[in-house]
Amino acid sequence: METLERSAASEAWALIAQLFTSQRTRFLAIASEFDLAPAQLGALKALDPEDPLPMRELAQALACDNSNVTGIVDRLEARGLVERRASTDDRRVKMLVVTEAGKDLRRRVKARMEEPPEALKRLTPEEQVLLRDLLRKAMSPT
């Protein structure tokens, strides 16, 4: 059987994907910790408290149908985390505004999500810095 050689970049990408996939349970636990459904957590993370977003753009960010976003937003709105407001440019367009309660919860969720998983904590401090710097370089637009 022939063995296909993978490039270092291909192997790194596969490992990054494996790391993210391994964190799915952690993501679900964090959502549950804040009494959010996973889709609600994703929506709250996608919304910028400083820049209201049309519902259709949230649907695009979540890669789901507009009708699914309605239910997600209904539940966030019922908890007082977001508000729907008519756009100043087109009253038919509903803008999503993060409330003060939503900003607070979003900040706490963000802090919790940014806690590194055990797999990264096992790296030495120097390795963590190197990994961070390499990922910054990879994500740089230039």
Q: Say how far apart CA 101 and CA 127 lie, in whole Å.
A: 37
| Helix-then-strand count for the chain, H and E | 8, 3
pLDDT-based confidence at 6, cuts 50/70/90? confident
Token pair of 17 as six digits: 């994907």
User: In a 10 Å sphere around its CB, with 0-12 CB exposed, 13-18 middle and 19+ buried, how is residue 60 labelled?
Assistant: middle
From first CA to last CA, the distance across the chain in angstroms is: 40
Cα distance between residue 108 and residue 98, in whole Å: 14
Predicted confidence (pLDDT) per residue in 45-96, tens digit: 999 999 999 999 999 999 988 889 999 999 999 999 999 999 888 888 899 9
User: What percentage of residues in the chain have a pLDDT greater than 90?
Assistant: 78
- Cα distances from 39 to residues 36, 61, 99, 141, in angstroms, run 8, 11, 18, 29
- Which residues is 51 bridged to in the sheet? 48
Structure tokens at 89: 């440019």
Percent of all residues in the chain with a pLDDT value above 70, rounded to a whole number: 96
Given pLDDT bands bounded at 50, 70 and 90, which one contains residue 3? low
Best CATH choice for the domain 18-139 from the list 1.10.260.40, 3.30.565.10, 1.20.120.50, 1.10.10.10: 1.10.10.10
pLDDT score recorded for residue 4: 61
- pTM > 0.85: yes or no: no
Distance, CA of 93 to CA of 65 (rounded, Å) = 16
Can you tell me the distance from the alpha carbon of 110 to that of 104, in angstroms, rounded to the nearest whole number? 10
Question: Are 78 and 90 contacting, i.e. CB atoms less than 8 angstroms apart?
Answer: no
